[in-house]
Amino acid sequence: MNAPFNPGRLGQRDPFAAYVCDETTAETLRPVAVEMGWAPEKVNKGGLRNAVQSLSVSASPQILFVDLSESGDPINDINALAEVCEPGTVVIAAGQVNDVRLYRELVVSGIQDYLLKPLSADMLRDAFSHAQAMLNAPRRSRLRPSGRISRRASSARVAGSVRRRSRPRLPG
């Protein structure tokens, strides 16, 4: 997220780590981690506070799961986490607060997703699959060689949608 890039740590980054507040979350998370090919020992107790302490002295993983349940100020705590996470870390947070404003502020702060507890295995699988897709997506520049942003940089078409006809271009 915001920590300085350290190329020496790049090869040492774990694919996954989690910091949870309760055993119920850990018990739900471990089997999903194994399914994803990750070590279940990477599911740590301690929540967000432990994540910040641990990642301040070690390389951040590619995918980081943090539990915000014990956080009194989730936005400030996520910002503290951003200071110790290396660029490219995908952060997924979970918590008990069902608030759209909090979700939006967390996304603006740099997290990939916020999951509402209690968690299910399917919910975690979906979030981790999406995080892996983000990591594996090609990083194409939106800049043209001229330095201008391409208008066709990203487009999507929904299957079954009606396709609009483009306007004819006027000469000149």
The whole-number mean pLDDT for each consecutive block of 10 residues of the chain, a chain of 172 residues, reads: 46 89 96 96 93 93 95 91 91 94 92 95 96 82 40 33 42 54
Q: Is residue 102 part of a domain?
A: yes
Q: Is residue 148 part of a domain?
A: no
Q: Is residue 163 part of a domain?
A: no
Q: Is residue 28 part of a domain?
A: yes
Please state the domain count of the chain: 1
Give the per-residue pLDDT at 171: 55
Looking at the DSSP assignment, which residues form a beta bridge with residue 65?
18, 92
Which pTM value belongs to this model?
0.75
Q: Is residue 113 part of a domain?
A: yes
> Which domain, by its residues, includes 24?
15-131
By DSSP bridging, strand 16-20 and strand 113-116 are unpaired
Give the per-residue pLDDT at 33: 97
**Could you tell me where the beta strands, DSSP code E, fall in 29-140?**
43-45, 63-67, 90-95, 113-116
